[in-house]
Amino acid sequence: MRKQIAAANWKMNLTLQQGEALLDDIIAKPHQLSAHQQAVFAVPFPYLTMAQQKIAGKQNVYIAAQNCYSKKNGAYTGETSVEMLQSIGISVVVLGHSERREYFYEGNDLIAQKINICLEYNITPIFCCGEALNIREAGIQNEFVAKQLEESLFHLNAEQIQKIVIAYEPIWAIGTGKTATSAQAQEMHAYLRSVLAEKYGAAVADNISILYGGSVKGSNAKEIFSQPDVDGGLVGGASLIADEFVTIINSLK
């Protein structure tokens, strides 16, 4: 079975003390991860070491960075390299989030460079893709999202692409309270898998986890995750509430 993943994206939220308390609360609550399930916490850069210490010894629980730079090292003030992340035990990085694309003008080419350097350092990228409301309303969401995959991922070989986790985030459903129906999520996830299958073959495509990232919460996670091509979620606001995120973890199939 493909990896089923509940990934928390804290974004630019919480103080150190609040982050510590949240992790303590989540860890203390009853939840169990099977061998094919993972919980991932993408925390702000200053909290990575704290979070690593909190989850030490926990099975199938990982701390992720919310971004990285495309170069190994050098005069890039304010940036964080994958070498730095690897040195503190980080093995997952979120790349291409819609907020990085919108506010920091990150394009598919730059994200491809970040994908490459993560794989070079054996760090798993969670590659985000998805369309804004105007793209959805124009009915060209499939072509738009396929282009994101093609320009950022399709230079990879079959072995490399299976090291990627994809997160589909309908931008119109992030932080708006709007949520794609489970049928809409399944439709796009199935389409993404078909694009991967056309390039790499069905066996490879069936081995790639595709997460849904659009206003997932405890009340809708089980229905969304039950869809055959939805392999968990990349969760924003609800991941900042312990009870909510534990419910989401427990909703993985």
Domain range annotation of the chain: 4-249
List all residues 6 or more positions away from 226 whose beta carbon is below 8 Å from its beta carbon: 182, 253
Q: Over the stretch 87-120, which tens digit does the pLDDT of each residue have?
A: 999 999 999 999 999 999 999 999 999 999 999 9
pLDDT-derived band of residue 219, with 50, 70 and 90 as boundaries?
very high
Tokens of 161: 């692409």
Domain topology for 4-249: TIM Barrel (3.20.20)
Which ranges of 58-139 would DSSP assign to H, the alpha helix? 82-87, 98-104, 108-120, 133-138
pLDDT-derived band of residue 179, with 50, 70 and 90 as boundaries?
low
Q: Over the stretch 7-66, which tens digit does the pLDDT of each residue have?
A: 999 999 999 999 999 999 999 998 889 999 999 999 999 999 999 999 999 999 999 999
pLDDT-derived band of residue 173, with 50, 70 and 90 as boundaries?
confident
- Give the C-alpha separation, 50 to 43, whole Å: 10
pLDDT of residue 175: 63
pTM of the model: 0.96
Report yes or no: 152 and 193 within 8 Å, Cβ to Cβ.
no
Instruction: Please give the mean pLDDT across all residues of the chain.
Output: 96
- Give the C-alpha separation, 107 to 109, whole Å: 6
Which sequence positions are flagged as catalytic?
97, 169
Q: Comparing 19-33, 123-137, 162-176, 202-216, which segment has the lowest mean pLDDT?
A: 162-176
